[in-house]
Structure 1
């Protein structure tokens, strides 16, 4: 075991213990970026969204509605989606408040065929590892006046109640980050609602409130995993995340998913350390910085010795209080929950402070098998296609493939295969892993060449794929 101590500025002490590494767990499905569907989003005060689409003349249709900027409005779209805009919430690129008629343009991406048409990449980068996203609803919202792009006022916001395509409460909200060219996870921004048609968006089931008004539940204390690296860092209580303030002497274990950690980082005198939330339950990002250098590790809090026993006692006391309050809440909500199950529109509500693309997602966690696809042009058996996209309608997800190494494909889901070259679109209608013929990890996939070169309309793509 290697142990070292470094004194940080700002009274931060880090002790890293580098133990013998245990067996590495297999990474989740990795979605690899490709030139076929490349995102490109400039800053907020330029053209809001310019995404490189696979078909130059095809776009997911936008629905348009107008309202008076000085009064605000609740816009109801044919799909059931609603956009609630407060008064005086729109400004131009110079920060001047807008008055008069404003046009809202809403694109709802209802399935991965839409994601492909729009050129949207369904990959999420977390601590240097890419994961595929499974969507429960995605939309793009923009505003215009006289053909010019508009923006939400600084500090302002509006609410979107987006018709969703999937049950479940374990979805998160992501927004496209114009700086990093990647999806950004927005913590605790998504609310699942099933409103009665024609009623206010405020008519929602009463939420459960913790008896001690604690906004975030503390994670259950855990002991370290033998063989994993432990980071011990003293952080002032004022800088701790709320859910960890109830515990004392927490340490942080580098989880198996993290591949960025190296024991030699213990020898660096860092200037600053910060603990931030991650989209993984019970796990956090521990970030260290020095000058322009920055390192981030995916960790979970752990406790050793008597610290573990004390932490468990604190946790159990909190759980007992919550369970007592929860029983009362369940009695009140049981009838409302049964009624909600029968409501015709499943929706997810969230607030936005910038126009752009928002995605109700979770990390795709389906069983998969790694396949080395050999994509063959059916019109010329000697012509193989270098890259492509695998579209899963069942899980509402898409994996892009850049032609290098294996690609993780779902074992039990059908999928489409799409590919492009400079002159043609190629496609394989719904197939599955069980239908492929393997030679080792390699499998041939015969793609048809679209006779017209590229589709020229949204309806043409849908008709071609019989969707």
Structure 2
């Protein structure tokens, strides 16, 4: 056993530096270059006997110390695993979410033509399938699984790597369309006969020819360049009137809405409108005054019902003067007591009851004595005729004022209608001009987009089952690197899978973010998301080494993912 232990505190290397030093081939060549091994030297064999004796003695003397040292080391040294778990090359990030596929039942003897849910066509020749032994499959049905990855959401869900290494530089794939083709009989995979490839007519929204054609080499974990696909040239197509109307509807007069405050503002500027408005206010005041002045219609006395009148001295009782010529006809059920009629009363009070009835109370100034009668005011003879005529005249005057008010309001409404109609006509002309401008912009955009984005057919052949992609490489512009101290994903984590999303290029760029290491983001990324344990987070900020995500959760469908990415 050693008496001392030396603690060597040397320079600490990063994981990148350690990996850079792991060039064992160079090390081995360096050792070989120094000459023969010591056991190949002549002196080694000449002194073998002596070496054996000495070595045996040393082994016997130190065997105890060696066992003790090994036992102590076994207690303290960690045991490295035989191998580290490696992630699959195609690694979907969500356990139970996949891009929807078409499965076609193919008669191996006949092949066939099949159309996918997105409109792509597959032409499969007869006897196109091999079993695992390389023999042609006959008299069986093959399940052909065909999956199309149309956009960035599909790419994320697929877990298929969308980068390409060339001369040590990693590029992002800008995809015009990617498909996956697999064949099965039951649960067993089958192979394609390379001499009878499947012809694919893939529908794509990208018409330019700058895309290359690649196949994913899953064994060697890289994309294999296959050349170019063929693209059907889109025929120049002008938008039909129906298509234009569907995108930009025809403007009708009833579609124009003029706000009331805008019409009111125009009316305030019109002198004629102001004049009629003042006239309406004047007439309305006269109507209100007449309505208050008009009495109830006079009632003619009933000759067969008891009545009495008041002997009024107007100077002493001016408030009773309106009742000077009025007869008070007893209400049903009332009877005059003759004694009351012959009594001298010096105080009379009139109180309005329901309908036409009044309550007349007779009393004396220095006495508690009083009598009451329910009566109805009536008129007789000339008094009735005069009151009735006056009532009719006032009613006629009131009706004339109401008629005049109606005429003024009619003219005001007509004037407002004219203003509104004028404004609608002006708005209609303006809306039609704006529509023509929008149509011109739409047609220009349609013409411009045909060069880059248009629905076309991309033709290629599939000689082996796997993943095929029509892509062009894009070198990404990196931001200044930042040293990460924290990755906050609801709680702090050590690392996260980062995906920069570029919908306009139809591409994604995946890379890792690890704490205590430098992180490089990319310019022009519409969204940057992080994935930790099937959960998606939207990157909010990187500030002073702190990477912060807003965690959205686990997407249940593609629409969830598209919503979070704002596609």
Partner of 2:201: 161
Shift of 1:54: 1.2
Q: What is the CA–CA distance in structure 1 between the aligned matches of 2:489 and 2:131, rounded to whole Å?
A: 51
Shift of 1:181: 0.7
User: Are residues 1:57 and 2:96 paired?
Assistant: yes
Partner of 2:482: 372
Q: What is the CA–CA distance in structure 2 between the aligned matches of 1:185 and 1:109, rounded to whole Å?
A: 19
Equivalent runs, 1:57-136 vs 2, <5 Å: 57-99=96-138, 100-136=140-176
User: Are residues 1:345 and 2:384 paired?
Assistant: no
C-alpha distance after superposition, 1:294-332 (max 9, x if no partner): xxxxxxxxxxxxxxxxxxxxxxxxxxxxxxxxxxxxxxx
1:176/1:195 CA distance change after superposition, 3 Å: same
Shift of 1:97: 1.5
Partner of 1:209: none
Unaligned runs of at least 5 residues, structure 1: 1-34, 41-50, 197-336
User: Are residues 1:176 and 2:216 paired?
Assistant: yes
Q: What is the CA–CA distance in structure 2 between the aligned matches of 1:379 and 1:150, rounded to whole Å?
A: 45
Q: Which has the higher strand share?
A: 1
Equivalent runs, 1:5-20 vs 2, <5 Å: none
C-alpha distance after superposition, 1:163-200 (max 9, x if no partner): 2232311000111113321111112x41112579xxxx
Q: Which has the higher helix share?
A: 2
Q: What is the CA–CA distance in structure 2 between the aligned matches of 1:78 and 1:373, rounded to whole Å?
A: 46
Q: What is the CA–CA distance in structure 2 between the aligned matches of 1:150 and 1:391, rounded to whole Å?
A: 35
Shift of 1:108: 0.7
1:150/1:459 CA distance change after superposition, 3 Å: farther
Conserved in 1, the CA contact under 8 Å of 2:538 and 2:550?
Answer: yes
Partner of 1:409: 522
Q: What is the CA–CA distance in structure 2 between the aligned matches of 1:386 and 1:343, rounded to whole Å?
A: 34
Q: What is the CA–CA distance in structure 2 between the aligned matches of 1:384 and 1:146, rounded to whole Å?
A: 42
Q: TM-score, normalised by structure 2?
A: 0.42
Partner of 1:419: 531
Partner of 2:28: none
Shift of 1:455: 3.8
C-alpha distance after superposition, 1:216-245 (max 9, x if no partner): xxxxxxxxxxxxxxxxxxxxxxxxxxxxxx
Partner of 1:284: none
Aligned length: 267
Q: What is the CA–CA distance in structure 2 between the aligned matches of 1:360 and 1:88, rounded to whole Å?
A: 27
Shift of 1:61: 1.5
Larger relative contact order (CA 8 Å, sep ≥ 6): 1
Partner of 1:286: none
Q: What is the CA–CA distance in structure 2 between the aligned matches of 1:344 and 1:125, rounded to whole Å?
A: 29
Shift of 1:398: 1.4
1:371/1:393 CA distance change after superposition, 3 Å: farther
Conserved in 2, the CA contact under 8 Å of 1:39 and 1:120?
Answer: no
Conserved in 2, the CA contact under 8 Å of 1:138 and 1:359?
Answer: yes
C-alpha distance after superposition, 1:381-419 (max 9, x if no partner): x55644422222121111122235343513x34123122
Partner of 2:257: none
Partner of 1:398: 508
1:418/1:116 CA distance change after superposition, 3 Å: same
Q: TM-score, normalised by structure 1?
A: 0.50
Conserved in 2, the CA contact under 8 Å of 1:137 and 1:361?
Answer: yes
Conserved in 2, the CA contact under 8 Å of 1:194 and 1:345?
Answer: no
Partner of 1:7: none
Q: Which has the larger radius of gyration?
A: 2
SS in structure 2 at match of 1:114: helix
Equivalent runs, 1:234-245 vs 2, <5 Å: none
Q: What is the CA–CA distance in structure 1 between the aligned matches of 2:474 and 2:536, rounded to whole Å?
A: 26
Q: What is the CA–CA distance in structure 2 between the aligned matches of 1:367 and 1:385, rounded to whole Å?
A: 23
Shift of 1:460: 4.7
RMSD: 3.4
